[in-house]
Structure 1
Amino acid sequence: MYSKQNQGQDSTTAELIQRHAEIVFGNKAKADLWLAQPMAGAVEGSRLQAANSKTGYEFVKAELEKLSHGYAC
């Protein structure tokens, strides 16, 4: 169970990932579609859900960085 402090942190990381994706993809609709896709590998759930953990956040952030530089993920 999360404390209120953790819930705030989760929404903050999700918001950061959302904004980053919107910048990379150029609009909210494309970013939302990409973030809703399931993660490859051991993590279950969407990219946005995975971003709620520190490891997932770092992984999604790294994927967005690669995409912003022209690499396919």
Structure 2
Amino acid sequence: MRYVELIQREAEAVFGNKNKADTWLNQPNADLGDSTPLELAHNEAGYDQVKAELERLSHGFAC
């Protein structure tokens, strides 16, 4: 499975629905160098960054 598809599924699990996940995935994120999570998720290194951010969010840490 491609990294983008994986991160989309993980975001949906964290946010509870596709619309909220899509909004987060497509907005620039200061903690990700002002890139959108989807921009970064196209390779393993970016995927790992975005996944770590989703893990922080799932544990209640705001970004």
* TM-score normalised by L of structure 1: 0.75
- Partner in structure 2 of residue 69 of structure 1: 59
Give 5+ residue unaligned stretches, structure 2: none
**2: CA distance between counterparts of 1:19 and 1:69?**
17
C-alpha distance 42-16 of structure 1, shift in aligned 2 (>3 A): closer
**2: CA distance between counterparts of 1:66 and 1:42?**
13
**2: CA distance between counterparts of 1:42 and 1:31?**
16
Instruction: Write the deviation string for residues 26-53 of structure 1: whole angstroms up to 9, x where unpaired.
Output: 0000000000011436756421121112
SS of residue in 1 equivalent to 2:30: coil
User: Percent same amino acid at aligned positions?
Assistant: 57
Give 5+ residue unaligned stretches, structure 1: 1-8
C-alpha distance 42-26 of structure 1, shift in aligned 2 (>3 A): closer
**Larger RCO (alpha carbons 8 Å, 6+ apart):** 2
- Partner in structure 1 of residue 3 of structure 2: 13
Instruction: Write the deviation string for residues 5-36 of structure 1: whole angstroms up to 9, x where unpaired.
Output: xxxx6xx1101000000000000000000000
- Tell me which structure has the larger Cα radius of gyration: 1
SS of residue in 1 equivalent to 2:53: helix
